[in-house]
């Protein structure tokens, strides 16, 4: 079971695709419950992985350290903008399995949307994490905008030599419809093809697996399937807000369907059922791979059905690219004596949304 724990609703940035801090009425600035109540709620969950989430979770690093001192999770994960690494002591960083750190690619693409100087600060923090003794999975978490060149930006992050995996999400949930989305999609898919060709070339020529999470994650679902939605929201993953409310999805703070219960009055087996992915997704030929993409996007469809389908078309195109090259990947890995299973990612739900 995966739990996203909001340590705060505040953020020290105002990125233009999310706007920064949550309104206090939706997500209070600090937890209003005691840690003991949270631990008691999780007692029936069995094996537990924890994602520290926000806002910017390191704004309340004291809560993180106190929780980690009180609860022995199977795995710890954090999603952070990377600017406040010094606030958490090294002993805690060394216990974390996965750090997802926000950076959008080259300096221009990052700083335009996150703020001047953010790129350089994040790169310094990524280097510092290793010096502090963090030896887990360091993931560059990109937000893809109209300024993104997916080939340029992913390749740039790979060439920094800092990140184990590169992961991205498209800014197509809350953002207003892009002015030239159709034209951008053509460029994006061209970049994906080039990126996949590079990924295969590196395996073929060097036996090297580039950590491109969407490729590896989609391959995993092509071969093994998985839960729906692929992030497991409301199925095997829940979020705990700072007011103790239990959410189906960590971004579903503003919708009634997202609120499933409360840590004070509910147990896991008494939570309201989360919505499930239904039509039109369940009739799609690639539903077993895509899994409905994102529960929040499916439920809200803020771009309308036409916009929703346009994003689906991009997903289908990426899956098709991978399917058409699967035999090449298999043969190439076999020539190096590398098991196909060894490149599938993630090994456990580390909060990466597999489908961009």
Distance CA 197, CA 325 (A): 9
Q: Rounded to an integer, what distance in angstroms lies between the CA atom of residue 253 and that of residue 22? A: 9
Q: Is the pTM of this model over 0.75?
A: yes
pLDDT (0 to 100) of residue 293: 95
Q: Which residues contact 344 (CB under 8 A, 6 or more apart)?
A: 216, 219, 220, 223, 224
pLDDT tens by residue, 70-113: 999 999 999 999 999 999 999 999 999 999 999 999 999 999 99
| Residue 350 lies inside a defined structural domain of this protein | no
In a domain, 182, yes or no: yes
Token pair of 175 as six digits: 């953002």
Give the pLDDT band of residue 160 (cuts 50, 70, 90): very high
Question: What tokens does 308 get?
Answer: 């929703």
Residue 348 inside a domain? The answer is no
Instruction: Look up the domain containing 217 and give its range.
Output: 2-343
326 and 219 Cβ atoms separated by less than 8 Å: yes
Contact 320/314 with Cβ under 8 angstroms?
Answer: no
What whole-number percentage of the chain has pLDDT above 70? 100
54 pLDDT higher than 90:
yes
Distances (CA, A) of 51 to 60, 72, 100, 172, 335: 14, 13, 10, 23, 38
Look at residue 144 and give its three-state secondary structure: strand
| Calpha distance 56→78 (Å, rounded) | 10
How high is the pLDDT of residue 75?
Answer: 98
pLDDT for residue 19: 85
**Is the predicted pLDDT of residue 341 greater than 90, yes or no?**
no
pLDDT score for 28: 98
* Strands 165-170 and 75-80, sheet pairing: unpaired
CA distance 263 to 118: 36
Phi and psi at residue 137, to the nearest 5°? -85, 110
315-324: pLDDT as tens digits? 999 999 999 9
Asked, for residue 355, whether it belongs to a domain, the answer is no
Q: d(Cα 266, Cα 290) in Å, to the nearest integer?
A: 31
What are phi and psi for residue 225, nearest 5 degrees? 70, -160
Residue in 216, 172, 251 with CA at minimum distance from that of residue 329: 216
- CATH code, domain with 192: 3.20.20.70
Cα gap 293→283, rounded to integer Å? 14
Per-residue pLDDT tens digits for 236-285: 999 999 999 999 999 999 999 999 999 999 999 999 999 999 999 999 99
Look at residue 71 and tell me if it is in a domain: yes
What pLDDT score does 342 carry? 86
How many whole angstroms separate alpha carbon 180 and alpha carbon 188? Answer: 12
Q: Give the chain's domain count.
A: 1
Task: Give domain status of residue 112, yes or no.
Answer: yes
- Is there a domain that residue 351 lies in? no
356 is a domain residue = no
Percent of the chain with pLDDT over 90: 92
Confidence of residue 65 (pLDDT cuts 50, 70, 90): very high
Strand partners, 169: 143
- Give the strand pairing for 237-240 and 137-144: unpaired
CA 290 – CA 279 distance, rounded (Å) = 13
């Amino acid at each position: 079971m995966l739990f996203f724990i909001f340590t705060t609703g505040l953020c020290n940035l105002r990125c233009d695709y999310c706007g920064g801090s949550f309104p206090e009425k939706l997500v209070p600035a600090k937890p209003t419950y005691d840690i003991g109540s949270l631990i008691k709620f999780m007692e029936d969950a069995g094996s537990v992985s924890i994602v520290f989430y926000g806002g910017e979770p390191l704004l309340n690093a004291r809560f993180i350290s106190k929780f980690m001192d009180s609860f022995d999770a199977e795995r710890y994960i954090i999603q952070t903008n990377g600017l406040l690494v010094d606030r958490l002591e090294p002993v805690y960083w060394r216990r974390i399995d996965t750090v997802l750190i926000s950076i959008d690619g080259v300096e221009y693409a990052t700083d335009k949307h996150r703020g001047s100087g953010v790129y350089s600060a994040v790169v310094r923090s990524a280097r510092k994490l290793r010096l502090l003794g963090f030896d887990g999975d360091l993931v560059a978490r990109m937000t893809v905008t109209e300024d993104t060149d997916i080939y340029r930006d992913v390749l740039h992050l790979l060439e920094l030599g800092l990140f184990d995996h590169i992961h991205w999400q498209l800014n197509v949930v809350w953002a207003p419809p892009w002015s030239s989305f159709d034209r951008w999609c053509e460029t994006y898919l061209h970049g994906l093809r080039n990126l996949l060709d590079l990924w295969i070339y590196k395996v073929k020529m060097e036996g090297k697996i580039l950590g491109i999470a969407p490729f590896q994650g989609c391959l995993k679902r092509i071969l093994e399937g998985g839960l729906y939605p692929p992030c497991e929201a409301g199925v095997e993953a829940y979020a705990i807000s700072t007011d103790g409310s239990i959410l189906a999805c960590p971004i579903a703070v503003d919708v009634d369907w997202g609120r499933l219960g409360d840590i004070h009055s509910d147990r896991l087996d008494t939570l309201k059922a989360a919505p499930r992915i239904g039509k039109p997704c369940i009739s799609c030929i690639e539903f077993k791979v895509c899994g409905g993409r994102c529960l929040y996007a499916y439920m809200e469809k803020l771009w309308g059905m036409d916009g929703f389908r346009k994003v689906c078309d991009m997903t289908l195109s990426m899956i098709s690219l991978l399917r058409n090259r699967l035999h090449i990947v298999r043969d190439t890995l076999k020539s190096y004596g590398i098991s196909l299973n060894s490149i599938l990612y993630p090994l456990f739900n580390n909060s990466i949304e597999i489908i961009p």
